[in-house]
Amino acid sequence: MGRGVVGNQTPLLIADDLGFTRGDGCFDAARVTIVDGSPRVDHLDRHLARFARSAAALELPTPNATDWQELIDAALSAWSGPGEAVLKLVLTRGPEHSASGVTALLTVTEATDATRARRGVRGATLPRGYASDAFAAAPWLLGGVKTLSYAVNVAAKREALRRGVDEIVFTSSDGYLLEGPTAGLLVAADDQLWTTPLGATGVLQSVTIDVIMDAARSEGVGATHALFSAEDLPATDGAWLVSAVRGVLPLVELDGVRLPHNPTLTAHLAATAGF
């Protein structure tokens, strides 16, 4: 269908595109900020690497980093928004009844203001319906892959509204916290940082949490993986839901139970991640 930047009202997908009809594709999303008057994508190399891993898991062609970089540069050059934006990379299996190949596109859109959420969010747990090791024997379930099949995640967001909270934290059937619908889980305890193990849990690897954990290790702070339950959190030094776009969100309440919150630590983690 061609390449280059087009207006935001320009149709890009064919009606039978498998990304649209079946969610058969992957995406990645990153934050765009203005630095010295020019747009910049936070941690772009890491996002492109995760995008490539998702494509490989779906047996889609490996995204060509050079081609994507050229398109990203062109899109950012055309971006004229005054504040933060969201860069979304999308790759689908393409039209079902055509031999035209995969569909690849990106969008740059204005980011929703997350200032209030960065001061603290209230959460509720929601059973995800599988054990914390369910994906070990079932890699075909695409655990840890950022697919376009997002109906469950969006349903969880609606459930948060029904429950009168800001965020949902998915739990495993054996009682462990996993991740949010659009955010990873970070916990501080015993003078270390912890996040949910990957692999068998099916949890998506968080680019922003990786940045924070790498920085912690460089500062001599322990940073590793462990499973926590909701009952564990009140005895920790704090918990956060971490998003590449919305930032480091302190989880100040979970299922009606107040959780520890250290604003100084939150500010340090946010600054480490570039927020």
pLDDT by 10s per residue, the chain, length 275: 456 888 878 888 899 999 999 999 999 999 999 888 889 999 999 999 999 999 999 999 999 999 999 999 999 999 987 889 999 999 999 999 988 899 999 999 999 988 888 999 999 999 999 999 999 999 899 999 999 999 999 999 999 999 999 999 999 999 999 999 999 999 999 999 999 999 999 999 999 999 999 999 999 999 999 999 999 999 999 999 999 999 999 999 999 999 999 999 999 999 999 99
Beta bridge partner(s), residue 92: 25, 103
- Single-letter code of the amino acid located at 139: P
For CATH 3.20.10.10, the residue range(s) in the chain are: 117-273
- Crossing angle (nearest 10°) for helices 44-57 and 65-78: 130
- Find tokens 């995204």 and name the residue: 63
Considering the chain, tell me which residue range(s) the CATH 3.30.470.10 domain(s) occupy: 18-110
Model pTM score: 0.95
Residue type, 156: A
Instruction: Please check whether residue 230 is in contact with residue 254, taking contact to mean a CB–CB distance below 8 angstroms.
Output: yes
pLDDT at site 1: 47
Quote the pLDDT of residue 275.
94
The CATH number of the domain covering residues in 18-110? 3.30.470.10
92 and 138 in contact (C-beta within 8 Å)?
Answer: no
Residue 126 has what pLDDT? 98
CA-CA distance, 229 to 194, in Å (whole number)? 13
Question: What confidence score (pLDDT) does residue 247 get?
Answer: 97
Task: Determine which helix (DSSP H) or strand (DSSP E) holds 148, and give its type and residue range.
Answer: none
Determine what percent of the chain falls in helix, strand and coil, rounding each to the nearest 5: 30, 30, 40
Query: Among candidates 145, 124, 136, which has minimal Cα distance to 201?
Result: 136
246 φ/ψ angles, rounded to the nearest 5 degrees: -90, -15
Nearest to 27 by CA among 169, 179, 147: 147
| Rounded Cα gap, residues 269 and 212, in angstroms | 7
Find the radius of gyration of the CA atoms of the chain: 19
pLDDT of residue 2: 59
Per-residue DSSP letters for 69-100? HHHHHHHHHH---SS-EEEEEEEE--BTT--S
Query: Which is the CATH superfamily of the domain at 117-273?
Result: D-amino Acid Aminotransferase, subunit A, domain 2 (3.20.10.10)
